[in-house]
Amino acid sequence: MICENHTTVTEFILLGFTNNPEMQVSLFIFFLAIYTVTLLGNFLIVTVTSVDPALQTPMYFFLRNLSLLEVCFTLVMVPKMLVDLVSPRKIISFVGCGTQMYFFFLFGSSECFLLSMMAYDRFVAICNPLHYSVIMNRSLCLWMAIGSWMSGVPVSMLQTAWMMALPFCGPNAVDHFFCDGPPVLKLVTVDTTMYEMQALASTLLFIMFPFSLILVSYTRIIITILRMSSATGRQKAFSTCSSHLIVVSLFYGTASLTYLRPKSNQSPESKKLVSLSYTVITPMLNPIIYSLRNNEVKGAVKRTITQKVLQKLDVF
C-alpha cells in the first residue's frame, strides 16, 4: 500500500527508557557493567566446557551452545541500546530495524528449542541412564543443536518480512529500547488483525510447544526421582536439574508476559522492564546460575584459571 498524503517511514526513533541526561549516563554505566559480565560469564562457560576433559558430555555440550546463543542474543540489542543512551539521536534505519527484529526472533526461538533439548537430555540421563551414552550419541547431539539454532529461521523470516511490508505512513517513534514486534506494530497505519493472528500462532508454536516438551520431560523426571530408594541419588538427580529449571523459569516466565499477552493493560514502562529481564538480565544470570549450582563447572573453572596462572608463571 502506498502512503497517500503521508511520508513513508525510512527510519525509526527508539524512545528507550528516559530523556534525562543524568539518568541516561547512569543507565549506560549500569547496562555496560551487566553486558560485560554477560560476555565474560558466557565466554568462560564456553571455554571451560570446551577444554576441560571432565565436561565433554552432552549436558555441557548443550550448555556451551546456550552460552553462545546468549552472546548472540544480547549482541542483537545491547550494543545499540548502549549507543542510544549516550547519543542525542536515537535513530535506527528501516532496514536496521527489520534486521534487528529478525535476529531477535531467530535467537529467541532458538533458545526456546535449545532449552527443550536440554530438558530431553536430563530426561534420558535420569530416566534411562543405562542407555544414555547410546541414545545421546555425538551425532544426535549435533543434530539437536543444529535443529535448535535453525528452528527459528522460517518463522523469523515470515514475521519480519510481513511486518516490514506493512505500511508505515506517519509516526515513527518506537516506545521501546529495541525493534520488538508489538511496539513497532503499533505504528502500522492499516488493520493488523491478520498479522496479529499469525504472530500469536507462531508464539504459541515457538514458546508453548518447547515448553510443553520441557513440562513432559520434567514430569517424567520427577516421577523417576521420587521412586529412587537412595536419598543421595535423589539429591544428585535434583541437583543436575535445578540450574536448568531456574533458567527455564526465568526465560519463559518473562517472555510469556510479553508475547502471550500482547494486548495487556501493562504500561509501556512495565513492558520495557519485562523485556529487559529476558533480553539483558537473564543472559547475565545463566552462567552465574550454572557456575554456582554446579560443582563440576566450579571445579572446571578453578582448574582452567589455575592452569592459565601457572602458564603465565612459567613464562616469567
pLDDT tens digit at each of 316 positions of the chain:
555 555 677 889 998 887 787 888 999 999 999 999 999 999 988 988 888 887 888 988 999 999 999 999 999 999 999 999 988 888 999 999 999 999 999 998 899 899 999 999 999 999 888 899 899 999 999 999 999 999 889 888 988 998 888 888 878 888 888 998 888 888 888 888 888 888 888 877 777 888 889 999 999 998 988 888 777 777 877 777 888 888 888 888 777 776 665 555 667 777 788 888 888 888 898 888 877 666 677 777 777 667 665 565 555 5
pLDDT for residue 291: 72
Furthest-apart CA atoms within the chain: distance in Å: 75
Cα 183 from Cα 195, distance rounded (Å): 14
pLDDT for residue 274: 81
pLDDT for residue 98: 92
Q: Which three cell numbers stand for residue 245?
A: 529449571
Number of alpha carbons in the 13 Å side-chain half-sphere of residue 248 = 23
pLDDT for residue 89: 83
Cα 260 from Cα 202, distance rounded (Å): 11
Burial class of residue 246, CB neighbours in 10 A (0-12, 13-18, 19+): middle
Exposure pattern of 80-91 as b/e (b: 16+ CB <10 Å)? bbbebbeeeebe
pLDDT for residue 313: 55
State which amino acid sits at residue 90.
Answer: K
Cα 202 from Cα 213, distance rounded (Å): 16
pLDDT for residue 114: 93
Cβ partners under 8 Å of residue 129, min gap 6: none
Q: Which three cell numbers stand for residue 290?
A: 550454572
Cα 71 from Cα 67, distance rounded (Å): 6
Strand order in the sheet with 173-174: 91-93, 11-14, 173-174
Helices marked H in the chain: 21-51, 58-85, 94-127, 132-135, 138-150, 153-165, 181-185, 193-203, 209-226, 231-259, 268-276, 282-293, 295-315
Q: For the whole model, what pTM was predicted?
A: 0.87
- CATH assignment of 11-314, among 1.10.10.10, 1.20.1070.10, 3.20.20.140, 3.40.190.10: 1.20.1070.10
